[in-house]
Structure 1
Amino acid sequence: MDLEDLVRLRRARDRMDREYAQPLDVPALARTALMSPGHFQRSFRAAYGETPYGYLMTRRIERAKALLRRGDLTVTEVCLAVGCTSLGSFSSRFTELVGETPSAYRARSHEQGAAIPPCVAKGLTRPRRDRPGATQTDPRTQL
């Protein structure tokens, strides 16, 4: 991948970071990167290790966690505020990345996290799929 492609991919990724709550789809992001949708998806995955949709959903879940910690919005309001249109899909992805439902996350105390410096908290609170103890199998290897 050449430097020009990386610059264009970064432009699309920056747009996802800024406009995560807006309706974004692969064709629109591909136009931002001046690439075809297929080339954009392949290049994005090669550069960042995840699909554009996966990256966007991670951004949305990060923001949702912050809104849920505040405690003044319902799970449905948070879902809509971060750009998700389906409460079921939002809850499923949140549970997959965070390890608990949005309602359970909102209900528990988050005061311990307040004592953690922001530079450390960012790494500790970023949603991840590779949670300790979670077993992940590659479906292509299953018979």
Structure 2
Amino acid sequence: MSDPVTAIIIVDHGSRRGASNEMLHTAAERFAAQSQYSIVEPAHMELAEPTIAQAFSACVEKGATEIIVFPYFLSPGRHWTEDIPSLVKAAATNYPDVRWLVTAPFGLHPGMLDIINDRIRHCREQADSASTAIGCDVCGNSGSCQFH
């Protein structure tokens, strides 16, 4: 038996706000550029496209024989335990020879502590500097990085 061709689907909740959806697409592109996986697709659970079903189909069309779905969520909850597996299972019914799994979300991964610390440090520096109009990579010029 040959080695599986593994694809990754990174799935978030989805939003009516286009900029939020675009952030997931950027995350998927960056992950693809830095990982060993040649097939990486973004997907939204609801409210936006591509859907999980569309991403699953795109992976198979690109040659995937196994698909790993990463929930781009901070905490485990109903979306992780019920909704996402249900949507993936429905998408997989069209491809009975493709195996799949849903990973755990970020949760308490040790790297999250570094991210929290980095965001706090960066935003505090922005708030304490005279150049608060510059904003940051997350809030842009929203003015979020300032003390009130």
> TM-score normalised to the size of structure 2?
0.28
> TM-score normalised to the size of structure 1?
0.28
Structure 1 or 2: larger helix share?
1
Structure 1 or 2: larger strand share?
2
By relative contact order (CA 8 Å, sep 6+), the higher-ranking structure is 2
